[in-house]
Structure 1
Amino acid sequence: MLWRDVIDLIPVTVVKNGYGEEVEQDGIPRSVFANKKSARQSEFWQAYAAGVKPEIVFEVMVADYNEETKIKYGENKYYRVIRTYSANGERIELVCSVYPMEAQDGP
């Protein structure tokens, strides 16, 4: 299978800012090869019922994924991983929703 796309996997940690509020802080992004897929209809309705809207699915190698929760794809498109699925233990699908606009400044 050809890996047609490149995504940046971004680890996110929660830290306290100067006011004592918990905020998300982006770690160092890692670029990996991926395949972009559309969210399946069954995936969409299951997530929608839980209050999230899956927009896109990225398939990556299991060895490349370290439980990062934020993805950058393209120029300035950010996504949050809302669910993962691995059928064969070699590849993993990252089901993603659009990252909130106020957090789209990037790392």
Structure 2
Amino acid sequence: MRMDSELYLLKSGTTGKDVNGDPIITILRRRILGEKQSVRQSEFYQAAAAKLNPELVFVIWTIEYASETKLEYNGLTYSIIRTFNKNGKETELVCTSRFNGGGSSG
């Protein structure tokens, strides 16, 4: 496998509370390398039936994935809509830039 695409796995975290006692939410970014692949036709149609729009697929090392729900690639944030452990060593992340049925993020 050729891990030549730089991406960031994103996870929300809290760093304490503000003056009103509300939690301070931060986004933790972790840089990894992955292999960008095309969305398979079967994946596209299965996701479309669930009103999802898969746009990108990345294969990463399973050991690097910690259940993140978003990733950043080329300056855009994507939601991870499906994961698939391919062989115990590699995990496939299927991503979309559409959040909650809305438009593109940026």
TM-score calculated relative to the size of structure 2 = 0.79
Give TM-score scaled by structure 1 length.
Answer: 0.78
Runs of 4+ in 1 over 3 A off after TM superposition: 99-104
Alpha carbons of structure 1 residues 84 and 102: separation in structure 2 relative to 1, 3 Å: closer
Q: 2 CA distance for matches of 1:27 and 1:9?
A: 10
Is the contact between residue 53 and residue 98 of structure 2 (CA under 8 Å) also seen in structure 1? no
Alignment of 1:69-88 (within 5 A): 69-74=69-74, 76-88=75-87
Tell me, in whole angstroms, the C-alpha distance in 1 between the residues paired with 2:71 and 2:10: 6
In the TM superposition, 1:1-107 aligns within 5 A as 1-12=1-12, 25-74=25-74, 76-100=75-99, 104=106
The Cα RMSD (Å) is: 2.3
Q: Indicate the SS of the match to 2:95.
A: strand
Aligned with 1:29: secondary structure? Answer: strand
| TM-superposition CA deviations, 1:23-63 (whole Å, max 9, x none) | xx552100001001111000000010001100010110000
Give the Cα separation in 2 of the matches to 1:62 and 1:102. 28
Question: Does the CA-based 8 Å contact 2:71-2:79 persist in structure 1?
Answer: yes
Cα deviation for residue 2 of structure 1 reads 2.3
In structure 2, stretches of 5+ residues that fail to align are 14-19
